[in-house]
Structure formats: C-alpha cells, structure tokens
A = this chain, B = another copy of it.
C-alpha cells in the first residue's frame, strides 16, 4: 500500500513540500504526543511496510466483492511464516464463506453485520488436538498439553499467525477486523465448526474490500510512555499521560460527530466485573469441558 493511498493529502503536494511519510501517520496514531521526530530518521529507517503497519484501522463495512483466486492461500502462507513456539504450530484456521454459516457467526457475535458482508470469515483456533493425536499414537501420553503453559503456547502461536495474515491482507488492499465476540458463544462456535477436543476458537477475522462509502478511522493509541518501559517497569508517569489520552480519544470521536465516554471510563466499565464480559466469564469452565484442564 502506498502512502498516497492511505494519506490522500500526501499525493497532492509537490515533492519539495511533502512532509516525512511518517509525520501524518504518527500524528493520527498519537495526536500531539508524537513518540519520535520523523525528520531525524535516516532514509533507510522508513519504508512502505511501516506505512502499512501504522495505517491499520479495523474495517466494519465491506463491499460484497469476492476475493481473487489464491488470496486465501497467500494469507495462510503469510500466517504460517510467523514464528511458532518450538515449531509446535499449535494452531489451525477455518475459512468460512458460506453465507448461512456467516450469518450464524454474526448472530453469535452481537449481530455484527460486517461478518455477513465480508466475503471471507476466518476463525483462528488454538489447536492442541493435532499434537494430542500425534503424541498418543507415538507414546500413549500427551499430559504436557494439560497445562496452562501449553494453552498459552497455542494462543500465542495462533495470534502471531493471524496477525501476519492481517498484515498480508492489508498489503493487498483488503480490510480486516478481529471478532473476539466469538468467545461469547464458544460452545456454539465449536459445534458449528465440528471442533474436536483440545481446540479453542480464539477469535474470528473478517476479510474483504473496505466499503469506500464508510471509511474507517485510524484510532489513536496511548502515548508510548505508557506502554514502553526502559530497563524496568515504571508506571509513575502514566496517570498524566492517560488523562491526555482521554482527551485524544474524545477529539477522535468528536471528529466523527460522536459523543463518547472517556477511554478510562470505557475500559473501567469493561473490567469492573464479570457482567461486562458478555458470557466470557464462563471460559474457564468451557475450556475444562473442551479438554483443557489447565493445570
């Protein structure tokens, strides 16, 4: 993806008057609290991969156009090229294109219509079933899979793979959005996909061409000083930075004509108790039922 495609203003200025390609991208992501001065970066320190990564936005409106032949396999090749813990490759993905099946996933995900719109819906799986089958056949035991540690391995493997697929999709001009709400109805999703024991449906991912009539915005993130620590963890300056970020998020939504609560209030409502977890507070019991004792 070229910078001109994501930052239209860039293309219309004469070359001598163009800002560093990172300047507008960093301003969108961080507002006034830019974490670095792009003018200080050498010519080898910026490229179109970085432009693509910093341009990410979650897309919730898609054109119905199907994906070109070979796209799915390209995305999965990118996903499989991600690192995997001890080469265990403890993940799988189900590609869903059937409209009726996508409708059911939409219903289970708080009626997110973009799941039906997008031509491709990928369900990413933390998958210990393959290793279970192999190890039981070879040595009659796979007790290492019963530990929380091994679930963490499968979840990180699946997530690295999915994120590579997202980067690949965006490089092809496609949009994506993760659907964590699948975990609201984990049992229904597992039944729909005919999942064997020891497989957790982790999240969905819509893939399709963004609807140009309903463009998505690049959401500002916390100042870097909040998430980046040097040598040791130090949150002493976080309070003031979070207050500033509340202001950035207010401005972001105000730009879209939306009056939204402050970020710190939104996330507080999300974590104050199990009621806001939309059924996902049951995940521990569901995983036990699915063959993850999580010792």
- Interface code A222-255, partner B: CB below 8 Å = 1, 0 otherwise? 1010111111111100100010000000000000
Chain B proximity of A293: nearest CB distance (Å): 10
A273 to B47, CA, bound (A): 45
The answer to whether A268 and B139 touch (CB under 8 A), given A134-B242, A178-B83, is: yes
Known: A92-B233, A229-B93. A149 touches B76 (CB 8 A): no
Identical subunits present: 2
A110 at the interface (CB under 8 A from B): no
Is there contact, CB below 8 Å, between B49 and A281? no
> What is the CA–CA distance of A171 and B50 in the complex, to the nearest angstrom?
8
A267 to B101, CA, bound (A): 34
Beta-carbon nearest neighbor of A53 in chain B: B78
Query: Do A231 and B150 have beta carbons less than 8 Å apart?
Result: no
Distance of A262 from chain B, by nearest CB (Å) = 10
- Check if A86 sits within 8 Å of B267, measured CB to CB: yes
Q: Does A108 contact B (CB under 8 A)?
A: no
The CA of A238 and the CA of B138, in the complex, are separated in Å by: 15
Interface size class of A (residues with CB under 8 A): 35 or more
Q: Is A256 on the interface with B (CB-CB < 8 A)?
A: no
B42, B44, B142, B294: the one contacting A284 at CB < 8 Å is: B294
Cα distance A8–B265 in the bound complex, in angstroms: 53
Q: Which residues of B contact A35 (CB under 8 A)?
A: 73, 76-77
A31 to chain B: closest CB distance in Å? 13
Closest 5 CB pairs of A and B: A49-B171, A159-B159, A36-B73, A149-B280, A163-B163
Binding site for B on A (CB under 8 A): 1, 22, 26, 29-30, 35-37, 40-42, 44-50, 52-56, 58, 68-74, 76-78, 80-89, 91-98, 101, 125, 127-135, 138-139, 141-145, 147-150, 152-153, 155-156, 159-160, 162-164, 166-168, 171-173, 177-178, 180, 183, 192-196, 199, 202-203, 219, 221-222, 224, 226-235, 238, 242, 263-268, 270-274, 276-277, 280-281, 283-284, 287, 294-295
